[in-house]
Amino acid sequence: MKTIIVTGGAGYIGSHTLIELLQTTDFKIVSIDNYSNSDASTYQRVSQITNKPFDQIDIDLCDKKALNESLNKYPKIDGIIHFAAFKTVPESVTLPVKYYNNNLVSLLNLLDYCKEKNIRHFIFSSSCSVYGNADELPVTEETPLKKAESSYAHTKQIGEEILNYFAPSVPDFKAIILRYFNPVGAHISGLNGELPISKPNNLVPIITQTASGKNNLTVFGNDYNTPDGTCIRDYIHVTDIATAHVKALLYLFESGAPEKLSVFNLGTGKGVSVLEAIKSFEKMSGQQLNYTIGGRRAGDVIAVYANNEKAKTKLKWEPQLTIDDMMLSAWKWQENLNKGLVKLYS
């Protein structure tokens, strides 16, 4: 049985990927998390949903000694899915050193361990923010990367570059870079979803909190050169992101996967504006959303959405869920949070 390490497994995308791995493979799953942006209660909900066992290691990946000692317990590790990273864009603008330190040292420690222990399959969590303000839309994996708009996005660009140089240095090592567009929504059971530790920055949790009277949504600008004046993004259901990781692992394990390093866009290929997202939420939740129109947010790109053909053909992956599914699942999760069904952050 293959052993797979999932770093950041208590996080938003990580925990949804744990669920898909546990429910659709017979891999032995080991999750590593230091709860810097997540909560251990998430593991209980993963177990509740899947009723499958998995190991958890509560360490900081930047602690090389702790990492090596923890992983040495496993006789053989067949692959690593590396989610763990700081990812709050506005915070990364004010605290760049925190982001470079955490996001890069953790990656380097993992890659060092891969070389030492001959771990030959690696999946790196990247982001559409590596494209910056792209000149062409939709973006393909070959679209030239522009200047990163934040140190968070820059750590993802650097991480990809590190893999570009690391992969050829280790015989038989194969890596996949997955560039997520905007992951949103919650698990269909309503028992797992985004759990911001502090005030969220991302649109969808702010929408669901606003509908619950716990936040106030401001639309950041309606004077952009787009059909309705608001920014356009490629929102993709977190479960579709999770299933892509399972497909990527299977692609790596297939003997036929020829590339030492390959990159895939994980988006739906559809651009949705902020106002369209709000309309979808109102339709699916039956809630009238109160919001105000404010000024533009620094660092926002006007529009970005994916050409996802490469992932569809090579990974045999197809996003299944629509913006309406995303909004309904996000609202169901928020309602369960409101009812106290899951631990709330103080």
Residues 52-91 that bind ligand WQD (CB under 6 A): 87, 89
Are 156 and 127 contacting, i.e. CB atoms less than 8 angstroms apart? yes
By CB under 6 A, name the one of 218, 222, 287, 322 that touches ligand WQD.
218
Residues 256-275 that bind ligand WQD (CB under 6 A): 274
Alpha-carbon distance of 164 to 174, in angstroms, equals 11
254 secondary structure, DSSP code: S
Nearer to ligand WQD, 203 or 242 (CB): 203
Asked if omega into 138 is within 30° of 0 (cis), the reply is yes
- Residues 276-315: x where in contact with ligand WQD by CB under 6 A, - otherwise, as a string: ---------------------x--x---------------
Q: Which residue is nearest to ligand WQD (CB)?
A: 231
Could you say which of 12, 99, 152, 305 is catalytic?
152
| Nearest Cα to Cα of residue 124 among 88, 77, 157, 75 | 157
Q: What is the torsion angle, in degrees rounded to the nearest 10, for the CA atoms of residue 278, residue 281, residue 286 and residue 288?
A: -20
| Nearest Cα to Cα of residue 331 among 183, 203, 207 | 207
By CB under 6 A, name the one of 35, 100, 220, 253 that touches ligand WQD.
220
**Is residue 206 within the footprint of ligand WQD (CB under 6 A)?**
yes
Nearer to ligand WQD, 37 or 243 (CB): 37
Bridge partners, 81 (sequence order): 6, 123
Q: Is 131 a catalytic residue?
A: no
- Look at strands 28-32 and 55-57 and give their pairing: parallel
Residues 222-241 that bind ligand WQD (CB under 6 A): 231, 233
Q: Which stretch in 31-39, 95-103, 200-208, 329-337 sits in contact with ligand WQD by CB under 6 A?
A: 200-208
User: Which tokens belong to 79?
Assistant: 């692959």
User: Which tokens belong to 203?
Assistant: 């649109």
Bridge partners, 183 (sequence order): 236
Kindly state the smallest distance separating residue 341's Cβ from ligand WQD, in Å: 24
Which residues lie near ligand WQD (CB under 6 A)?
Answer: 87, 89, 127, 129, 180, 182, 201-203, 206, 217-220, 231, 233, 274, 297, 300
